[in-house]
Amino acid sequence: MKKRSWITVFVLVMVWIVLGMMVDNSIKLPSFFDVLVRMRELAFSYEFYEAFGYTLLRSLSGLFFAMVLALIIGIAAGMNSHIEEYFEPIYTILKSIPNISYILIVLIWSSSDFTMRVISFMVMFPMAYANVLNGMKSIDQDYLDVMKIYPEKKITEIFRVYLPLISTYIFASLSNGIGLTFKVGIMAEIMGSVSPGVGRQFQLCRIHVDMISTFAWTIWLILLLMGLEGLIHLLNRYWNKQD
């Protein structure tokens, strides 16, 4: 984060500390220092790494398949307008269905553990497909003209021309979608009573009315997502340097 962002964080923390002292009620607003202590306790516990490990595995597996399918269909649609027209109704339906509907439908149809993978896929796919298609449409006509003059196999064109040119759109999909995927996925874990996982830990916090742990898990989740987004930005910069 930039310097001004850290100033904002510092101000928010100070407001939290002051309000916590004024309220003096761990259920209404936990103390900042109590939450820090609980975060430290979680960091040294097995359940912390188990919960995040399983949630990461479920979310990232759905995210991976969503990106692969979005690349395949998005690139195909960008190369052939007929494919885009055929797929348009499916895309419209997928992006219009509320996330809660996905969760309820998949919970009824399949096992709870499988639900989060499907939810991650369904949430991420429409966004990724739209970005890939927009990337394909933004390619300069000069590149397309050169490919007509010096034709190559389609698979070669995809890996040597299309993917490098739309890489910015791909990384944008990952950066914007990973947070949403996790939030919806954890909600699916809570509703499906999936164990182990971060959603299960939030469910236990609710049962025990443990606001300190709720805040602690939430902050750890924020830090994890910030770390993943930072990693995506680093990979994007590395990819662009390679080009």
What are the structural domain ranges in the chain?
Answer: 45-242
Instruction: Output the pLDDT for position 43.
Output: 93
CA-closest candidate to residue 220, choices 60, 99, 62, 47: 47
Sign (positive or negative) of CA dihedral 184, 190, 193, 197 = positive
CA distances 19 to 14, 129, 155, Å, are: 9, 44, 59
Amino acid symbol at 22 = M
What is the C-alpha separation between 22 and 12, in angstroms, rounded? 15
> DSSP characters for 18-31?
HHHHHH-BTTTB--
Assigned architecture for domain 45-242: Orthogonal Bundle (1.10)
Find tokens 């750890």 and name the residue.
Answer: 220
Model pLDDT for residues 26-83, shown as the tens digit of each residue: 888 899 999 999 999 999 999 999 999 988 888 888 888 999 999 999 999 988 889 9
Instruction: Judge whether 181 and 62 are in contact, CB under 8 Å.
Output: yes
Instruction: Judge whether 106 and 118 are in contact, CB under 8 Å.
Output: yes
CA-closest candidate to residue 122, choices 137, 154, 140, 100: 100
Model pLDDT for residues 120-160, shown as the tens digit of each residue: 888 889 989 999 999 888 887 776 767 777 667 777 777 77
